[in-house]
Amino acid sequence: MIRIERRLTESRWLLLVVPIGSLIGAVVLSGIILFFTGHDPVDTWQRLLDRGFFAPGALSASLVQATPLLFTGLAAAAAFRMQTWNIGAEGQLYLGAVGASGIGIALSHQPAGVIIPAMVVAGIITGAAWAAIPGVLRAYTRTNEIITSLMLNYVAGLLMNYLIFDSHSYWRDLSTFEARVFPLGKYLSDAGNWPNLPITGIVIPLGFGLGIAAAAVLYVLYRSTTFGFEARVIGDSRAAAHYAGIRTRRKIVAVMALSGAFAGLGGASEIGDFRHVLDPRGLQQAGFGYAGIVVAALARLNPFAVVVVAVLLGGLSNAGFALQGATFPAGLVGTLQGLILFCALAGELLVHYRIRVRRPAGTAPIAPQPQASSAAGAGPA
């Protein structure tokens, strides 16, 4: 009989062995599928790695995908660390894009040194404000933030659609006849396009650099500040936080806003780095906000691990675009990507839990295991 038990302690070597095991599992499983669909597994894997990371320009293209994932991953990590479930990075990213593009258009005659900081600040503020809504509802009316933040994603998506498709808003380009028939947003001026940071041939978007800085900020915040300490206490036990005199409600709003700020900055980067125009369809198709939750989970909410995971997932999805074609259907690409994520998340389970197989004889089927957490060494009395 097979049982899954929570590990009492999480050993360090598992943290290394399990990801490698997951990777091998993913290679084997996808190899089987590739073989039976008539593709050469080794060749496919090689192409996947090439297109994702090693071919000329591949890493640069992957960073385009990785940058928004980095921000939404940080957004999820910031909130989840306090056990506050902000599922709304998607909508907060849209709002950040709306805010940043609005400011970018308004300041189009200004130099880059004015436009770009303004866009960054606008993205942060609008994203934070959007996230503060479910935060306030959670803190003061005890509304479930999972539901409210998720629902606000749809509101944010519809708001973007309204600004471009259903109204003559400030964001919409009405200067030409075509633009009036085929709705389109106003493009940023050249000064509003964020510069790249070329390092040894790889094109690094400014947003990616900001993302690494944001990861560092998040790391320091949680590790070394009283703000982060309070958030960790709240995440661990709200009763203990109340007992310690921590103002939990303010903190919930603050952490939600912080989370939204990261996502909003991601939205600003999408506009400034890549799209240069408010593009409702493109943003909604990408689903960066939801993917960010996966990034954060795989990174175990560690900000620096979020950077690494975002690059890996960015490469994976970039390779996917390159891989699909007449002989290689998009569905198969999705299957491969799904398998890799599945194996990675399944491996996560093994870090925290162990599977015990025991012979049926001499087992205690209904024995509730003494909870290590509650008994705390007292053991079964």
Partner 1 sequence: MVTAGRIPAVTMRGITKRFPGVVANDQVDFEALQGEVHALLGENGAGKSTLSNILTGLYRPDEGEVVIQGKPVTFRSPRDAIEAGVGMVHQHFRLAASFTVAENLVLGHRDAADRGLLLEPKVVEGRIADLSRRYRMPVNPRARIWQLSVGEQQRVEILKALYRGARILILDEPTSLLTPQEADDLFQTLRLMSAEQRTVIFISHKLEEVMAISNRVTVLRRGKVVGTVMTKETNQRELARMMVGRDVVFTQKKEGPAKAERTVVLELRGICANGDLGTPALREVNLSVHGGEIVGVAGVAGNGQRELAEVIAGMRRRTSGSMAVSGKPTRGGNPLEAIRRGIAYVPEDRLGTGVAPTLSVAENLVLKSYRRPPISTGGLLHHRRIRTNAEEVMTRFNISARGPQSPTRLLSGGNIQKVVLARELSGRPRVLVAASPTSGLDVAATDAVRALLLQAADQGDGVLLISEDLDEILALADRIAVLYGGRITGIVERQKAAVEELGLMMAGSTGAT
Q: Which residues bind partner 1 (CB under 8 A)?
A: 5, 8, 224-227, 229, 232-233, 236-237, 239-245, 247, 362-367, 369-370, 372-381
Give CA–CA dist 188/102, Å, rounded: 9
Comparison of 179 and 372: residue with beta carbon closer to partner 1: 372
Q: What's the distance, CA 206 to chain centroid?
A: 18
What is the smallest separation between the CB atom of 125 and partner 1, expressed in angstroms?
22
Comparison of 32 and 244: residue with beta carbon closer to partner 1: 244
DSSP 3-state assignment of 299?
coil
Comparison of 226 and 327: residue with beta carbon closer to partner 1: 226
Beta-ladder partners of 199: 202
DSSP 3-state assignment of 356?
strand
The tokens describing 305, both together, are 């691990």
Element (H, E) at 196: strand 196-199
| CB atoms inside a 10 Å sphere around CB 178 | 9
Comparison of 199 and 378: residue with beta carbon closer to partner 1: 378
DSSP 3-state assignment of 362?
coil
- For residues 208 and 265, is the Cβ–Cβ distance under 8 A? no
Q: Roughly how many angstroms between the first and final C-alpha of the chain, as a whole number?
A: 26
What is the smallest separation between the CB atom of 308 and partner 1, expressed in angstroms?
25
Query: Of the candidates 115, 97, 63, 82, which has an alpha carbon nearest to the alpha carbon of residue 263?
Result: 97
Comparison of 187 and 227: residue with beta carbon closer to partner 1: 227
What is the smallest separation between the CB atom of 371 and partner 1, expressed in angstroms?
9
Residue with tokens 């087992």: 363
What is the smallest separation between the CB atom of 236 and partner 1, expressed in angstroms?
4
What is the smallest separation between the CB atom of 243 and partner 1, expressed in angstroms?
5
What is the smallest separation between the CB atom of 377 and partner 1, expressed in angstroms?
4
Beta-ladder partners of 197: 204
* Rounded CA Rg of the chain: 23
Give CA–CA dist 52/36, Å, rounded: 24
Comparison of 227 and 342: residue with beta carbon closer to partner 1: 227
Comparison of 38 and 377: residue with beta carbon closer to partner 1: 377
What is the smallest separation between the CB atom of 46 and partner 1, expressed in angstroms?
43
